[in-house]
Amino acid sequence: MADREVKLEHELRNYLNNMSKIEIGVVVNYYNPTRNKSLIYQTLLSALSYKGSKVCTVIIVDGSGFEDEFLKNTAFENGMIYLASDRKLKFAEGYNNGIDFFVNQEDIKYIILSANDIIVPESLPTDLLTAYLTNGNVGCVIPYLTKGDYYLQNEYFLFKNRFVPLMTLNCNFFSKEDLISIGRVPEYLSGYFNDVVMSHRLHQIGKRILIAKNVLAIHLLSKTVAISSSASYDADWLIFKEQHSELTSGSTFVINAKKFSSGKIEHFFSLLMGMMPGVKAKRNLEKLYYVVYGIEAFFFKLMKNVIPRSWFKA
């Protein structure tokens, strides 16, 4: 049975690698009202990395409140679309403008929402599509990240598919149909907890979140936030508590989950990676995964009164 599944996946990958029709729309979200040059170049690098895949149409959504001629012209010269707003956009509005652009394009069946600090290999879009097509009831597929906001998405766990209760908005693959079904990205939040709400909505329609094995993206963590951001954590937390009491009542789960990504476990794995480079490190890290899995299971068990029990069926 395992050999048959491997063969089917291999055949599917060959089919995807030979696709000539563009079916994946990529929305790169950009916000830079200070015209920081580093952020402009970073955004172009991110968008161009997706453009390396011949099955993608890439759109850069500029929520800075004005048009950037350099970014616009460079995008156009490289076969990408540039969409600017005449007012400053919230985090979610930028994504949703890109989604709306693709909604009426019949050829686009899948959408990747990407932060502008994500750099991907050429194969990533088709790798995520392969994972989506070969696993049942998947609503969102995400890659592992070199630096993850969510500790389960850290590259140390690269060796297996993982169904998880939550995702972060960094590089997220959806079918266009599912993305529309969950109401796109919630705009009442400025940039925090949007991902938690979307995760909840996916589970409500019976869909799962998958971190795809052996798919890795580079995450320039916090580079964008450090330079330019319109998000307010405190304001979003108050709104989130008020509108989603079923997820927060009597608990600071979301805060704890966010902070957990930069805790002692990640530090331990970082030290281990430095001590044991190459293949040997990966093999040992794979063994240690089972130790971390136990910690992970305990962590989520503590939160079971907050997260719906059905989230753990996967």
pLDDT tens for 112-140 read 999 999 999 999 999 999 999 988 889 99
- Residues of the chain short of pLDDT 70, as ranges, are 1-21, 148-151, 156-157, 221-231, 246-314
Q: DSSP string of 211-274?
A: EEEEEEEEE-TTHHHHH-----HHHHHHHHHHH-HHHHTT--HHHHHHHHTTSHHHHHHHHHHH
- What is the pLDDT at residue 182? 94
Q: What residues contact 82, with CB distance under 8 A and at least 6 apart? A: 59, 60, 62, 71, 72, 75, 76
Segment 301-308 long-range contacts (CB within 8 Å, at least 24 positions apart): 303/251, 303/253, 303/256, 303/257, 305/250, 305/251, 306/247, 306/248, 306/249, 306/250, 306/251, 306/253, 307/165, 307/247, 307/253, 308/203, 308/246
The percent of the chain in helix, strand and coil, each rounded to the nearest 5, is: 50, 20, 30
Whole-angstrom Cα distance, residue 136 to residue 257?
26
pLDDT digits (tens, 9 = 90+) for 55-64: 899 999 999 9
Taking the CA atoms of residue 144, residue 146, residue 150 and residue 153 in that order, the dihedral angle to the nearest 10 degrees is: 20
d(CA 171, CA 2): 29
Contact between residue 20 and residue 218 where contact means Cβ atoms under 8 Å apart: no
pLDDT in the model for residue 272:
58
**Apex CA 103: angle with CA 78 and CA 60, to 5°?**
30
The CATH class of the 2-232 domain is alpha beta
The terminus-to-terminus CA distance of the chain in angstroms comes to 21
Residue 28: helix, strand or coil by DSSP? Answer: strand
Nearest-10 Cα torsion for 164, 150, 134, 172? 120
DSSP three-state, residue 139: strand
State the amino acid at position 216 in one-letter form.
L
What is the phi-psi region of residue 79: left when phi exceeds 0, alpha when psi lies from -120 to 50, beta otherwise? left
Closest by CA position to 213, among listed 288, 135, 139:
135
Cα 80 off chain centre by: 21
In contact, 134 and 60? CB cutoff 8 Å = no
Looking at residue 262, its pLDDT comes to 37
Confirm if 28 and 60 have CB atoms less than 8 A apart: yes
The backbone torsions φ and ψ at residue 22, rounded to the nearest 5 degrees and listed phi first, read -75, 120
Cα–Cα distance measured from residue 1 to residue 116, given in angstroms and rounded to the nearest whole number: 40
The amino acid occupying position 2 is A
Query: Cα 260 from chain centroid?
Result: 18
User: Looking at residue 156, what is its pLDDT?
Assistant: 66
